[in-house]
Chain A
Amino acid sequence: MEQIFFYIFAIVAVASAIAVISVRNPVHSAMYLIVCFLQVAAIFILLRSPFLAAVQVFIYVGAVMVLFLFAVMVLDIGKESFGEHMHSQAIPAGITVLGLLAVVGWLISKGKITVPLGNYTEEVLTKNTEVVGKSLYTQFIFPFEVVSLLLLIALVGAIVLVMKEKGKGAGSTRS
């Protein structure tokens, strides 16, 4: 039963991911990306991780994609379709993808990609918000803080870049 659902979600996810990069209209492309994110959230639920699923929908589908659509609409590239932007990257990209697939396939067939349940039973994992919180704030506190710092840097960087361009455009030395 679970396997059937997994295959449904996985197939839709892959199909919509392909659609994201193959459709011409950027808004349609964003729509397919939303579909893809929702499938990933569904797979998280199958993996007994409702917290991650809810956060996936909340952050990616709810916030990131709304911002993305906002940008697409403001830039008004919605009406014109994208031109071909491959710039002869097709062959290197293909090789990279094939290489990645080979490595992942080899690892899966060797059984190296498995995560031990650890000392958690399946039931505890289903109610796993506490488990996630505890391990994030005790065992993995350092990486967690580093990630938040990275996000802050990205945020400040984005603002700095925008400010610079604004200053250039106006021809002033405003900082």
Chain B
Amino acid sequence: MPDIATLLEILLIVVKVGVVTMILFGLPLPLTWLERKVAGHIQVRLGPWRVGPHGLLQPFADMIKLLFKEDIVPYKADKLLFNLAPLLSMVPAFAVFVAIPFGDSVMVPFINKEVTLYISDMNVGILYILAIGGLSIYGLILGGWASNSKYALLGGLRSSAQMISYEVAMSFAAVGVVMMSNSLSLLEMVKSQSGSFLNWNIFYLPVGPVWFAIFLIAGLAEINRIPFDLTEDEGTLAAGFHTEYSGMKFAFFMLAEYVAMVTISVLSVVMFFGGWNAPLQVPVPIPPIFWFVAKAGALIYFFMWIRFTLPRYRYDQLMTIGWKILIPVALVNLLVTGFMRI
């Protein structure tokens, strides 16, 4: 029989998992609103305006619409995989957050106990995130295949080819960061970047910015955002892999996509921008989590900015960028990083 302390530890983990999950489920609500507002202002419009002040209640209206929409399963679709696919894309997107450190330990008032702001400090954290994060692609592929529609199938095929091409570049970027930080554990990675902002991996000149550029481009391609959202290219593929999905299943795909965007932002913060470390020593005590959220938020805004600024690439251009530019650049950069770390 386990003793009280062990049970408390288990309870603490369960609570942490619950909190993170709730935050991730709630996050797409403000993010969809923000995305539309950003889109509106970039295109000199107002964006959502009717529901609530400044359209703030728009996400809730959307949610109600999605909940009440008829759930259509195409006749001749592979029922099992069709129903399973949204889950397959959502679960890995959430599971990634087990390994992400949001901050060091903090004292929680009332229970007077030191609580770490991460669920698990894995020894192979970065590998785990890349491996599990890569799994959400199955939702797209299988959803596209199971729909039994040519647009959906093409979308699924595109996403699998795209993922294979960019996973290589992304892994190279991760290898570069591991070399710069000397550890596979994300916690160690953040600790190695403490001090001023000059210690951040992105300022590890000359290779840091190049690794970040590779990671960012590959990350954008992995999460299927413009300019790399060829899998749901409405100009040629109707809606790509989710052509046949409606209602909540469609919402799950979108949820997974938003969570993936948050993952890439948070991962960039941890890998390149020093995690929760303050950029400069400030005399005012600011909680480290503030820096973390601020950096991640800035990156999320950056992704939205890109989405409404750049046009979509052609498919052959996408492959050219992946194989003929990113991977050779990554290889050369790996060599330079190796020489610098000797």
Q: Which residues of A contact B (CB under 8 A)?
A: 25, 27-28, 31, 34, 50-51, 53-55, 57-58, 61-63, 66-67, 69-70, 73-74, 78-79, 126-127, 129
Contact A73 B156 (CB under 8 A): yes
Interface string of B121-160 (1 = CB under 8 A from A): 0111001101110110110011001001000010011001
Which among A28, A73, A74 has the highest number of chain B CB atoms within 10 Å? A73
Chain A binder among B161-169, B226-234, B278-286, B315-323: B161-169
Contact B164 A58 (CB under 8 A): no
Interface string of B271-304 (1 = CB under 8 A from A): 0000000000000000000000000000000000
A126 to B153, alpha carbons, bound, how many Å?
42
Q: Which residues of A contact B135 (CB under 8 A)?
A: 57, 61-62
Contact A67 B164 (CB under 8 A): yes
Contact A58 B134 (CB under 8 A): yes
Contact B141 A51 (CB under 8 A): no
Given contacts A50-B122, A129-B124, contact A66 B164 (CB under 8 A): yes
Q: From residue B127, how far is it (CB to closest CB) to chain A in Å? A: 4
Q: Which residues of B contact A79 (CB under 8 A)?
A: 148
For A76, give the chain B residue with the smallest CB separation: B153
Given contacts A73-B156, A78-B145, A129-B184, contact A54 B164 (CB under 8 A): no
Give B79-126 interface residues, CB cut-off 8 Å to A: 81, 122-124
Contact A66 B141 (CB under 8 A): yes
Q: From residue B212, how far is it (CB to closest CB) to chain A in Å? A: 22
Q: From residue B89, how far is it (CB to closest CB) to chain A in Å? A: 13
Q: Which residues of B contact A25 (CB under 8 A)?
A: 78
